[in-house]
Amino acid sequence: MSGILYDTLLARISALPVVDAHEHLPAEKHRTSAPVDVFTLFSHYTQTDLRSAGMPPEDYLRTQDASIPLGERWDLFEPYWQCIRYGSYARAALIAADKFYDCTDISRETYTQLSERMAAANTPGIYDRVLRDACNISVCLTQIGRIPEENRDLLAPLLPVWSLVDLSWPQAALEFGGKVGIAVRGLDDYCVAMAETVHEWKAAGVVGLKMMSTVLPEANRADAAAAFRRFLSGHGGDNSAAWSYLVHEALRIAAREDLVVAVHCGVIWDNWNDVYTVHPKHMIPTMMAHRDTRFDLYHAGFPWARDIAVIAKAFPNAYLNMCWCHIMSQQMSISALDEWLDLVPCNKIAGFGGDYGTPVEKVFGHLTMAREDIATVLARRVQDGRLTEERAVDLAAGLLFRNPAQLYRLPFAGL
């Protein structure tokens, strides 16, 4: 979209503070201690497109091997880059290269210079330069399977539900309880250990738990206790009743601790996966069973953006998160947001989450695209007379900052 109104809205939206509602960013030292070059920009989602375009997996891995000469790796990469460069995944890399390294294209003519500039900039403070200064991000909700060791003023962690319910072998359950001083002799002891663990997580700054959209049967407590006893005894057998019961217990604990449960719904990042296994509809029985637990439904449930919107409309404990969306497809994101604003209370929508790990520069690229998409949707509504410009900016402030801050109980004044 173009025009004076769009440009004005985009400029005002771009000045708003942001809560980045989903990342996989580790502490900064993990980025600055590793070598980087042009292929760092292709170390995340773009690899899926490269393989989809026909790049052999072993060739992709070679592009990520810094011991191989850069030119040799470019020769492997370039034919497939020409196939994916017009997609939304690739656009985030192009925006980042232009913004931070003054390279208006990623090409045979620029890859050496771009690599040199990236290496020179890979120094302490890169998170502040990218996330705070360029993006105006106040906090990133990050998921790395642990609490980040550093950068805690910027990185607010969510931890996986699955780490609370490791029934792979009896010793794991005993050690889990031992970490919080609980001797695990049965299901009740393990539930106490889970509750104490989550309580300690929250005290350490954890703001939520994370799970996948999945069919989660209700488990009879007696059956679960019996299965857990068999498990502890080492006799094996079917642990599914114990596992399901404990996952439900984790969701009950989340409600008591006032923590959000984030849910991966829809599209899967890697190749060769059945996306239907994580359809958002699988969460309906679980959300009905846990009405006091807040569920943040990720990724617009792509490609089921309409399904997930109807779910959020019907369930007071369901929220919508556009993390990852804008780099999957800007057009699908525009369509989804436009329909959501008709369907769902606007306070239930988080408008952006970069969903990146190592290539922190691409958070800016993704955020640029998200701002464009939000401005496009809101400018149309102002043009149609459904919004004033001031209400549009306030709505954008909700999408980018206020809504995720309120959902995750982030301590910002003035909310």
pLDDT digits (tens, 9 = 90+) for 23-82: 999 999 999 999 999 999 999 899 999 999 999 999 999 999 999 999 999 999 999 999
DSSP label at residue 346: G
Residue type, position 265, single letter: C
Q: Rounded to whole angstroms, how far apart are CA atoms 362 and 81?
A: 17
pLDDT of res. 412? 79
pLDDT of res. 410? 96
pLDDT digits (tens, 9 = 90+) for 359-385: 999 999 999 999 999 999 999 999 999
Q: Rounded to whole angstroms, how far apart are CA atoms 99 and 367?
A: 12
Q: Rounded to whole angstroms, how far apart are CA atoms 401 and 352?
A: 9
Q: Rounded to whole angstroms, how far apart are CA atoms 235 and 220?
A: 20
Q: Rounded to whole angstroms, how far apart are CA atoms 15 and 363?
A: 16
Q: Rounded to whole angstroms, how far apart are CA atoms 355 and 79?
A: 26
Three-point CA angle 407, 321, 38, nearest 5°: 120
Question: How far does CA 44 lie from the centroid of its chain?
Answer: 13
pLDDT of res. 235? 81
3-state secondary structure of 116: helix
Q: Are strands 208-212 and 349-350 parallel, antiparallel or unpaired?
A: unpaired
Please tell me the pTM assigned to this model: 0.96
DSSP string, 275-293: GGGG-GGGGHHHHHH-TTS
pLDDT of res. 399? 98
pLDDT of res. 414? 54
Q: Which residues pair with 155 in a beta bridge?
A: 140
Residues in the chain with pLDDT < 70?
1, 413-415
Per 3-state DSSP, what percentage of the chain is helix, strand, and coil (rounded to 5)? Answer: 55, 10, 35
pLDDT of res. 237? 80
pLDDT of res. 138? 97
